[in-house]
């Protein structure tokens, strides 16, 4: 529904509708126009009951009238080619990437993403064998970063991923290849002390620990750490967890070998997996996020020892959250310089400046960015 929201709103003239009813109407129209297996009367009656419970009898009558009108107009299983992102965002991408690549990006975002698993307690071969033995079709994820589950008519119907073989035993975590590649790009030596400063929900903390780093995971909101703790416990990975804001972190200067700043961002690189993000992000939000990212980088710089590394990462495609942010940081902190490690990731994922960048429509993974910044010895 979120991917199709633009066309649904056009059908409903949603700006004239009570805000409490908008999602109810969108769900109803989605069922009428996009789903073949749901009877029209069921789509209408369910929406009417939701409206009645939400806003009363008058609202129920309005929803009933609106959806019956759409039902008469709609063809079964309609798939209209309507713009599916906010105009301002598409215009922004066109300016940055050009017309053709923006069209590919929008098309990527409108496809249902694949479920990709990374081995944890089981190795890759065992995970593949057990999945195939249970009737699932699997293939290698891009860049050799995990296994992709291919949905087929003969595959078992299960509540993915919790219903997959090995889930209770901690056999795997769910993680896009882009995040694995960020961990590879970080090139953290085995045994290095690493503070993952914005760690929730915890995929990178787990992956970096599995790769041999001694990780401590922190986040400023304790409620976000619950999922991290559950994941680490399930996959049996020991990750100490602290509730701490990086801007006021309880660590002395120069404490850490590496600080990972997986910064809060606009998430424009992951809109295929999170279609709601395209409707939440605004130009003002991007500007606010960039300001906070700048403060987080400054705070991380203090915590890194001489010769240590700050790894800055986002799942954004926006320059002011990525390369512009890092360039500004380096202009403020002359003790730091870019220091990528050769062959840590394929050359096609490295920018001319030496940063990591994955672009969904080119690399067929989530969008992501990372810079590896070394603090010189005095």
Catalytic residues: 315
- Show the tokens assigned to 240: 């100490």
Determine contact, residues 115/273, Cβ cutoff 8 Å. no
- Show the tokens assigned to 338: 């870019």
Nearest in space to 28 (alpha carbons), one of 83, 85, 74: 74
Q: What is the DSSP string of 4-26?
A: THHHHHHHHTGGGS-GGGHHHHH
Give me the torsion for CA of 350, 353, 357, 361, rounded to 10°: -90
State the distance between the two ends of the chain, measured CA to CA, in whole angstroms.
55
Strand duo 214-219 + 193-196: pairing:
parallel
Q: What is the DSSP string of 269-315?
A: GGTTT-TTHHHH--HHHHHHHHHHHHHHHHHHHHHEEEEEEEEEEES
263-290: b (≥16 Cβ within 10 Å) or e: bbbbbbbbbbebbebbeebeeeebeebb
Pure H helices in 13-123? 22-34, 40-55, 57-73, 87-97, 99-109
CA distance 38 to 28: 11
DSSP 342: T
Give me the torsion for CA of 19, 265, 140, 236, rounded to 10°: -100
- Show the tokens assigned to 180: 């694995």
3-state SS class at 323 = helix
């Amino acid at each position: 529904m979120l991917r199709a929201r633009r066309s649904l709103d056009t059908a409903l003239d949603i700006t004239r509708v009570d805000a409490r009813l908008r999602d109810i109407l969108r769900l109803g129209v989605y069922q009428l126009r996009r789903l073949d297996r749901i009877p029209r009367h069921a789509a209408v009656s369910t929406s009417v009951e939701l409206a009645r419970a939400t806003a009363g009898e008058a609202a129920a009558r309005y929803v009933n009238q609106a959806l019956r009108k759409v039902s008469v107009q709609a063809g079964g299983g309609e798939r209209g080619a309507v713009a599916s992102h906010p105009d301002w965002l598409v215009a922004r991408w066109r300016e940055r990437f050009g017309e053709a690549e923006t069209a590919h990006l929008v098309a990527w975002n409108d496809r249902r993403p694949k479920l990709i698993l990374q081995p944890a307690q089981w190795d890759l071969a065992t995970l593949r064998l057990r999945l195939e033995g249970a009737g699932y079709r699997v293939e290698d994820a891009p860049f050799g970063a995990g296994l992709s589950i291919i949905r087929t008519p003969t595959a078992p119907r299960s509540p993915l991923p919790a219903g997959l073989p090995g889930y209770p035993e901690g056999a795997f975590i769910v993680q896009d290849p882009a995040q694995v590649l960020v961990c590879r790009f970080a090139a953290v030596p085995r045994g290095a002390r690493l503070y993952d400063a914005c760690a929730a929900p915890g995929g990178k903390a787990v992956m970096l620990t599995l790769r041999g780093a001694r990780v401590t995971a922190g986040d400023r909101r304790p409620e976000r750490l619950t999922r991290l703790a559950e994941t680490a416990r399930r996959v049996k990975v020991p990750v100490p967890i602290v509730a701490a804001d990086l801007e006021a972190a309880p660590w002395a200067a120069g404490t850490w070998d590496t600080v990972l700043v997986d910064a809060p961002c606009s998430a424009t690189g992951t809109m295929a997996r999170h279609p709601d993000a395209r409707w939440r992000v605004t130009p003002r939000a991007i500007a606010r996020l960039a300001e906070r990212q700048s403060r987080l980088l400054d705070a991380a710089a203090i915590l890194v020892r001489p010769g240590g590394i700050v790894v800055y990462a986002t799942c954004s495609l926006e320059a002011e959250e990525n390369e512009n942010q890092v360039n500004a940081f380096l202009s403020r902190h002359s003790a730091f310089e870019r220091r990528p490690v050769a062959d840590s990731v394929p050359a096609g994922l490295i920018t001319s400046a030496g940063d990591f960048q994955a672009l969904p429509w080119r690399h067929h993974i989530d969008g992501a960015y990372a810079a590896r910044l070394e603090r010189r010895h005095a």
